[in-house]
């Protein structure tokens, strides 16, 4: 979900990434999947009623990713989800009667190796590519794929990862950072809060986008911002920002940030005796950062799904339980394993419906997706918009360090218009 500004900011996140890598070691209603496989393909049955095993040449999906380096916190989970989807689909008979196969190449989170890594999976026969789950690390691989007339489907918070920023053959499984900022503004408005203070982390363009769109959407709703301030990874103390919050008369705080800067800010705000309700971005999804502020309460974030067993979609609860059973470790976050799983789901369905692996035919089928019930949630693409901005998200509340679902909602309007 990240959409970063420069290589310098990547280094600043290394501590948080290390923490999270440890944590991740590794129906008629179209909006609700009913099984983990979520009917990815039409099942082929043998005369005796058993599912026919796939045969013939495999359909190859390439994952070009940072399986080492700080991107591993995202990409290891993505590949985990891809492998589960491929196993499910092959068990159900494959796609067009053929097995799916994954080939992977590690770009080591090294910018000099990203394009080479993409070419490597193409040389291994990849007909479709899933890049790293980030705009800066993933977009060079997506460009390589598109230049080779290959569909790229991945996840990144930045609204440029898709049709507009890369090209007609790039698809995003993530809802985008402007959706998060806009949704949390609508949530605050519905809660009856009148004067939020917006504290924005300048480390990444992702967090800036969340803060900016929160403010813009709040003003569209007719509200007044109590105050605004910024901080970044070099801000070991936010004492001046805390003073500004206290002087502003705010009744709530939007902390547009991500670990490790975000938890450090939350800790300092609470330590200063400020007990106002606080909101954050999906980057806080998970509990690996809660050790730094174990009693965090009255804190709300949007999330793709819940890894805590209380997701309103039973198939997702089963999916996260399966990850823990099969890997021995609970998922550290919701978005990345689901994105990996549903990237494969989406491709499998589009290929099956196209009756072919031809790029143009598969892309045409993806562009027809309307609330397609992928495991990650209902997904809509059009011929000019490849970001599923209308997907409902969960609101997670942390109470004494324990997260849980409080509601599910869809954004009513995205500040500045829908990013595509």
Nearest to 165 by CA among 132, 131, 142: 142
Write down the pLDDT at residue 49. 55
Write down the pLDDT at residue 156. 87
Write down the pLDDT at residue 24. 35
Nearest to 230 by CA among 260, 199, 206, 208: 199
Q: Which two tokens stand for residue 254?
A: 């939007």
Rounded Cα gap, residues 286 and 303, in angstroms: 9
Residues lower than pLDDT 70 in the chain: 1-50
Write down the pLDDT at residue 48. 55
Nearest to 319 by CA among 10, 52, 35, 72: 35
Write down the pLDDT at residue 11. 32
Rounded Cα gap, residues 319 and 330, in angstroms: 11
pTM (whole model) above 0.95 = no
Q: Which domains does the chain have, with CATH numbers?
A: 7-175+310-379 (3.40.50.2300), 178-303+393-409 (3.40.50.2300)
What pLDDT digit, counting tens, does each position of 179-216 carry? Answer: 999 999 999 999 999 999 999 999 888 899 999 999 99
What pLDDT digit, counting tens, does each position of 40-90 carry? Answer: 444 445 545 567 899 999 999 999 988 888 778 788 899 999 999 999 999
Write down the pLDDT at residue 14. 33
Write down the pLDDT at residue 414. 94
């Amino acid at each position: 979900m990240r959409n970063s500004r420069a290589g310098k900011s990547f280094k600043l996140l290394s501590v948080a990434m290390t923490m999270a890598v440890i944590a991740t070691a590794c129906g008629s209603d179209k909006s609700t999947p009913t099984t983990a496989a979520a009917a990815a393909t039409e099942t082929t049955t043998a005369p005796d009623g058993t599912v026919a095993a796939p045969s013939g040449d495999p359909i190859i999906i390439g994952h070009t990713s940072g399986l080492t380096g700080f991107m591993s916190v995202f990409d290891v989970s993505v590949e985990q989800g891809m492998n589960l989807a491929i196993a499910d689909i092959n068990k159900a008979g494959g796609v067009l009667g053929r097995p799916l196969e994954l080939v992977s190449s590690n770009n080591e989170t090294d910018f000099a190796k990203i394009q080479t890594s993409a070419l490597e999976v193409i040389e291994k026969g990849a007909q479709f590519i899933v890049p790293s789950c980030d705009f800066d690390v993933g977009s060079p691989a997506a460009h390589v794929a598109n230049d080779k007339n290959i569909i790229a489907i991945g996840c990144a918070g930045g609204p440029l990862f898709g049709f507009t920023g890369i090209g007609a053959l790039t698809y995003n499984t993530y809802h985008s950072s402007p959706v998060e900022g806009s949704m949390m503004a609508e949530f605050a408005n519905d809660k009856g809060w009148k004067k939020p203070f917006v504290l924005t982390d300048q480390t990444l363009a992702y967090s800036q986008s969340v803060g900016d769109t929160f403010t813009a959407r709040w003003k569209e709703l007719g509200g007044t911002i109590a105050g605004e301030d910024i901080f970044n990874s070099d801000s070991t103390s936010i004492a001046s920002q805390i003073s500004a919050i206290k002087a502003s008369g705010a009744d709530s705080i939007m902390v547009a940030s991500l670990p490790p800067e975000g938890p450090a800010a939350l800790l300092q705000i609470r330590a200063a005796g400020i007990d106002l309700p606080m909101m954050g971005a999906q980057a806080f999804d998970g509990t690996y950062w809660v050790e730094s502020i174990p009693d965090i309460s009255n804190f709300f974030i949007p999330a793709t799904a819940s890894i805590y067993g209380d997701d309103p979609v039973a198939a997702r609860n089963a999916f996260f339980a399966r990850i823990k059973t099969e890997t021995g470790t609970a998922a550290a976050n919701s978005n990345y394993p689901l994105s990996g799983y549903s990237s494969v789901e989406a491709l499998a369905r589009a290929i099956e419906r196209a009756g072919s692996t031809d790029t143009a035919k598969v892309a045409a089928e993806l562009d027809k997706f309307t609330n397609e019930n992928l495991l990650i949630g209902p997904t809509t693409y059009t011929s000019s918009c490849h970001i599923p901005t209308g997907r409902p998200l969960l609101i997670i509340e942390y109470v004494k360090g324990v997260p849980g679902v409080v509601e599910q909602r869809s954004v009513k309007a995205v500040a500045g218009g829908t990013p595509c």
